[in-house]
Structure 1
Amino acid sequence: MNVLDIIARGDGWVVINKPPGVSVHNDPRDVCHLLEKQLIPGSFESIHPVHRLDKETSGLLLIALNARLAKQLAEQFQARTSEKYYYALLRGSMPVSEEWQSWDTPISDKAEGRNNPQGLAKDRVESRTDFKVIKSDQYTSLIEVRLFTGRQHQIRKHAALAKHAILGDTRYGDPKFNKRIAEIYKTDRMFLHAGKLKISIDGKEHTFEASREF
């Protein structure tokens, strides 16, 4: 991966469709380093991803290109005035429904493991993940997800706690099942994709979308 897919750009910001397996930061080949090489020198002040997106997750990532806008956008995510929608392919069959349902089990705001996705009791905080089941078969279910809180690995933890771990999730899913899924789908990716983002940038409302590959 040498070139990022920039799907939208404005005054002081870009939106990319991040592929799975690419870190947002803290890696020599992360999004920040790749974007710095890709953008025209002098066309940006600095690079600031303004919300979380796990290395294993694909999809929309909003990046501010100056500190002022980074602060403004980050405050919107903290205040929960933006809207983030994801798609996830889960293990097991769930009833298809147009009704939104909720997972609201308290979880920690840090990485955990498959033996205890919630984390220690003292670390658990309010968490809410809304979802609806788009389609389902005997083995898997595709859901659309809206986050109301932004805990680390929130969708992954809630899905695992519901006994419907995300396919390809090596941290919270079953290793033997994931190995079989990798053989069937010819990929070892995690099937979680950030597909839609609604947010106001400098007073203008924007809706960004990135199609999923599953």
Structure 2
Amino acid sequence: MATQLPILYRDEAMVAVYKPADMLVHRSFRSPGETEFVLQTVRNQLCQHVFPVHRLDRPTAGVMVLAFNSEVARLLTEQFTVGEVSKHYLAVTRGHVGEAGYIDYPLTVEDDDYDDPRTSKNKEPQEAKTSYSPLAQVTLSIPVGRYPEARYSLVHLQPHTGRQHQLRRHMKHIFHPIVGDTTHGEGRHNRLFRDHFNWHRLALFAIGMRLSHPLTGVPLSLTTLPDEDAMTLFSKLGWNFPALMPIN
């Protein structure tokens, strides 16, 4: 049976789907063996051509917006480019995040899943800003390294810029790396989640965005709960959903 992605919103101009973790949006120079992509899957599912308008890292699950024609794609892309789209994420991070904060930490350009490796990159740091706020915490009676317990937080993240791997790098910068991040995270904590919770992926979820409809200008709020595997993990950690959802 062909893969079907959950439809979160659809009209004559655009569609929003739930992108699974570990699915590329489109073909990549860096993953020539991949056979499933969001664009092709949605195209087959709806029997209609679709256009991407923003990035979502391969390991990140959640809301993905696509346009049905090039003009709508241009209008939506412009909203993302100028920062008019409000994006919201959930992340499970190492340590107890005690209070809300704001990260203003420029980032250099990194390779991502969609870059042509032959393309040179400007290595000058780019402006990068993220707001974060803690939603829940947990202390596990599981030793990690020299510590007798392991502490984790559920955090609401809102990026105000769109740099590559911004949320993962910013959370590492404040010493609260995201669980399951094999590039910017911590192996001991990733192993704990694999061994005790059978969790083998990045614990980062794009749960919503607010934008203006590209044709009517009407405000749209596109939201979703995380997928079933994530909800199971949250339940094991004692976090009650949907009560903890930061947006509606």
| Bin of the TM-score, shorter chain as denominator length | 0.7 to 0.9
Count of matched residue positions in the alignment of Structure 1 and Structure 2 = 200
**Unpaired stretches in structure 1, ≥5 consecutive residues:** 113-119
Q: Which runs of 5+ in 2 are unaligned?
A: 28-33, 113-120, 140-150, 235-248
Q: Which residue of 2 aligns with 1:117?
A: none
Opposite residue 77 of structure 1, the aligned amino acid is F
Q: What is the match of residue 104 of structure 1?
A: 104
Q: CA deviation at 1:137?
A: 2.4
Q: Identity percentage over the alignment?
A: 29
**TM-score (normalised: structure 1):** 0.88
Question: Residues 129 and 34 from structure 1, CA distance in 2 versus in 1: closer, same or farther, beyond 3 angstroms?
Answer: same
1:82 aligned partner: 85
Q: CA deviation at 1:59?
A: 0.6
1:32 aligns with 2:39: yes
**Contact 1:15–1:61 (CA<8 Å) still a contact in 2?**
yes
The residue type paired with residue 221 of structure 2 is T
- CA shift, 1:121, in A, is 10
Distance 1:11 1:58 in 2: 25
How far apart are residue 35 of structure 1 and its match? Answer: 1.0
- Asked if 2 retains the 8 angstrom alpha-carbon contact of 1:49 and 1:63, the reply is yes
The question of 1:91 aligning with 2:105 is answered: no
Contact 2:181 2:190 in 1 (8 A): yes
Conserved 8 A contact 2:208-2:223: yes
- Report what 2:172 is aligned to: 160
Q: Which secondary structure does the structure 2 equivalent of 1:137 belong to?
A: strand
Residue 210 (structure 1) aligns with? 224
Query: In structure 2, what is the Cα distance between the partners aligned to 1:161 and 1:121?
Result: 21
Counterpart position of 2:136: 135
**Equivalent position SS for 1:126:** coil
Retained in 1: the 8 A contact 2:109–2:122? no
Aligned to 1:115: none
- Structure 1, residues 63-85: CA drift from partner, whole Å, max 9, x if none? 00110100000000001111101
